[in-house]
Amino acid sequence: MNKISDILFSLRKPKVVIVSGSNSQMVKENIQQVLKPYFTTIKEALVIENNLENIKEIKFLMNNSPLPVLALSDVPFEKIKAVINEMPKQGFLILKFDEEIVKRLKEETSVSFLSFGFDKRADFSASDININGGVNFKINHKGNIIPVWLEKSKGEEQIPFVLEAAAVGTVLGLNLIEVSQAFKTPDKK
């Protein structure tokens, strides 16, 4: 970011979602699709991709946001730990369910986090997956089960991106019905 962008960001103080890891572009697009109906882009919620190399920039973004969220997929634990050490108390981590990483996060950090994946132990998991001219499945979260329909999807490879977007949306105050509705109508760009 440059100085002018830094000043504008500091004045607006948007909620920021930093996306990193495998398929970060797809994750970003799904998060934007969930947030678009409910947040004014940039002014209220900013979704950016970042490779987690520039800790100074990440720290700036997190410390100048009222609710910073890190959405990570397939990022090694040591890299996760280095970044969350800079996370303010109001920050939130969203990560792909991995039993060992979740266990270590609980033991070694005090960061607030949610997990997603096909494993039923994840905070956001998928069930009842059907592929028939699109994909429909159910998002399971804290005993709530909401159906999702992805008209243009050819297979279940998009499901983890939707689960991650659902977790981000929930952290930012959306309910699962609002998340599901965001996928009902394909994003028109």
Q: pLDDT tens for residues 77-121?
A: 888 888 988 899 999 999 999 889 988 888 888 889 999 999 999
Q: Tell me, yes or no, whether 53 lies in a domain.
A: yes
Per-residue confidence (pLDDT) for residue 153, from 0 to 100: 79
Q: Tell me, yes or no, whether 189 lies in a domain.
A: no
Listed in sequence order, the residues at least 6 apart from 113 whose beta carbon sits closer than 8 Å to its beta carbon are 92, 93, 94, 95, 102, 105
Residues with pLDDT less than 70, the chain = 1-2, 4, 41-42, 154, 185-189
Contact present, 178 and 38 (Cβ < 8 Å): yes
- Within a 10 A sphere around the Cβ of 106, how many other Cβ atoms? 11
Per-residue confidence (pLDDT) for residue 12, from 0 to 100: 79
Alpha carbons within 13 A on the beta-carbon side of 21: 20
The residue segments making up the domain with residue 175 are 3-184
Q: Tell me, yes or no, whether 122 lies in a domain.
A: yes
Q: Tell me, yes or no, whether 163 lies in a domain.
A: yes
Q: What is the CATH number of the domain that holds 41?
A: 3.40.1190.10
Work out the angle at residue 16's Cα, subtended by the Cα atoms of residues 15 and 20, and round it to the nearest 5 degrees: 155
Q: Tell me, yes or no, whether 25 lies in a domain.
A: yes
Per-residue confidence (pLDDT) for residue 189, from 0 to 100: 44
Tell me how far apart the terminal alpha carbons of the chain are, to the nearest angstrom: 25
Per-residue confidence (pLDDT) for residue 186, from 0 to 100: 53
- Say how many domains are in the chain: 1
